[in-house]
Amino acid sequence: MGQENSTRPTAEDVLKTLKEGNLRFVNGNLEHPNHCEESRQILALGQEPIATVLTCADSRVPPVDIFDQGLGHLFVVRVAGNIIGDHSLGSIEYAVKHLHTPLVIVMGHTSCGAVSAVASGAALEGHIATLGPAIQTAIKSVEETSGDLVNNASKELARQIAKKIAESEPIVADLVKAGKVKVVPAFYDLHTGKVIFLDT
């Protein structure tokens, strides 16, 4: 379990850190912090990640690399389409309640396969079908918006999921209301490597 203390960074501090890390990633000036043996030994005793990231399971979207962070920095929850269910939401609740991460990022990305499949009307087989409803809701919200439907829907999905997490009772909603946690939607561009923080 993490320990809450006054030296923990604020959500704004963490956002600044992650934006700086993403800029290093985009420019190819990676620092790869916390990858040494000493870091591993310290982290074996416990973790105090600075942020929780819910993102797509897509192999091209690794948050630790995208934000140029290291071992123990990010508590990452990944599922196709970066949607939430009971298990993923429970993981996020654990991170904000017990590891005291002040920031939760919900990060969509360009050319998302899950969003593309739903947008094209493809038949979703097996448990893949459980991804459909949340994505379909996002698609309907942006159907009249100009631009790329899949990317617009991915941004909207990140916004909608972030809102659901922020309003999730009792754990996350209470921490958000108390000003201890901030939930932010974001969007990653596979081509440029840049992360845009939406609505901030």
Phi first, then psi, for residue 119 (nearest 5°) are -65, -30
pLDDT at 110: 98
pLDDT at 1: 46
pLDDT at 200: 58
Q: With 0.85 as the threshold, say if the pTM is over it.
A: yes
Architecture of domain 11-189: 3-Layer(aba) Sandwich (3.40)
pLDDT at 6: 56
Predicted confidence (pLDDT) per residue in 69-95, tens digit:
999 999 999 999 999 999 999 999 999
- In the predicted model, residues of the chain with pLDDT beneath 70 are 1-6, 200
Q: DSSP label at 182?
A: E
Which phi-psi region, left, alpha or beta, contains residue 140 (left: φ > 0; alpha: ψ -120 to 50)? alpha
- Which H helix or E strand runs over 75? strand 74-78
pLDDT at 8: 84
